């Protein structure tokens, strides 16, 4: 008889001691889960930022290498779709450098389209007075914690030649 009461006492005391262990384990599990999700968010954000910046750099390089010229022939510039309206961007207002820069930017963003999307057309600004070209790219990625995250890639570079094929002194302050 004494043996069975000792066993029930041991079982009862074991249950009492183990009941306090669930809460710390739940906190530890939640902390590990949040740490993993933050890590995934940081990796996705850096991936999107790198893709947008690489596309902007590619656009600047293409605009710098493009020949001088006024308005571009729409047949030579690949069609660019405005993602907000779904229509095509008016290419008649683009110069040759803007066309080449925008095309290279779009091609670079399409290369990473499986992970990083484009939520707005790129902005390519050729400033002939300052002798620089500026490119902005707009990318987005979906994070499991914060949903859609939008990132911007910015690049600026000097132009060797502007109108009349005259060399220029690029104004670094314009960037």
The larger pLDDT score, comparing residue 108 to residue 72, is at 108
Q: What is the pTM of this model?
A: 0.72
Computed over every residue of the chain, the mean pLDDT equals 77
Confidence label for 18 from pLDDT (cuts 50, 70 and 90): low
Q: What CA–CA distance (Å, rounded) separates 32 from 29?
A: 5
Q: Which residues pair with 154 in a beta bridge?
A: 136
What digits encode the pLDDT tens for the residues 77-106?
A: 666 655 555 566 665 566 778 888 888 888
- Single out the residue of 54, 58, 49 nearest to residue 141, CA to CA: 49
- Residue 152: the pLDDT is 93
Mean pLDDT computed over 112-136:
82
165: left (phi over 0), alpha (psi -120 to 50) or beta: left
Mean pLDDT computed over 21-34:
88
Burial zone of 143 (CB within 10 Å; 0-12 exposed, 13-18 middle, 19+ buried): middle
Quick one: which H or E segment has residue 8? helix 2-19
Q: How many CB atoms lie within 10 A of CB 157?
A: 18
Q: What CA–CA distance (Å, rounded) separates 3 from 139?
A: 72
For residue 7, pLDDT beyond 70: no
Confidence label for 159 from pLDDT (cuts 50, 70 and 90): confident
For residue 126, pLDDT beyond 70: yes
- Single out the residue of 44, 152, 57, 43 nearest to residue 108, CA to CA: 57
- Residue 153: the pLDDT is 93
Hey, what are 85's tokens? 């309206």
DSSP per-residue string spanning 128-151: TTTTEEEEEEEEEEEETTTEEEEE
């Amino acid at each position: 008889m004494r043996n069975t009461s000792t066993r029930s006492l041991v079982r009862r005391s074991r249950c009492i001691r183990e009941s306090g262990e669930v809460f710390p384990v739940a906190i530890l599990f939640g902390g590990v889960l949040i740490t993993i999700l933050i890590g995934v968010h940081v990796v996705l954000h850096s991936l999107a930022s790198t893709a947008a910046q690489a596309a902007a750099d590619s656009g600047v390089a293409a605009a710098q290498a493009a020949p001088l010229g006024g308005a571009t022939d729409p047949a030579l510039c690949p069609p660019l779709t405005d993602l907000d309206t779904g229509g095509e961007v008016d290419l008649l207002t683009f110069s040759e450098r803007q066309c080449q820069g925008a095309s290279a930017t779009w091609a670079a963003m399409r290369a990473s389209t499986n992970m990083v999307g484009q939520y707005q057309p790129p902005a390519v600004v050729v400033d002939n007075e300052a002798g620089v070209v500026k490119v902005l790219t707009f990318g987005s990625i979906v994070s499991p914690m914060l949903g859609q995250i939008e990132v911007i890639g910015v690049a600026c570079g000097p132009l060797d030649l502007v109108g009349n094929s005259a060399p220029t002194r690029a104004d670094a302050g314009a960037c």
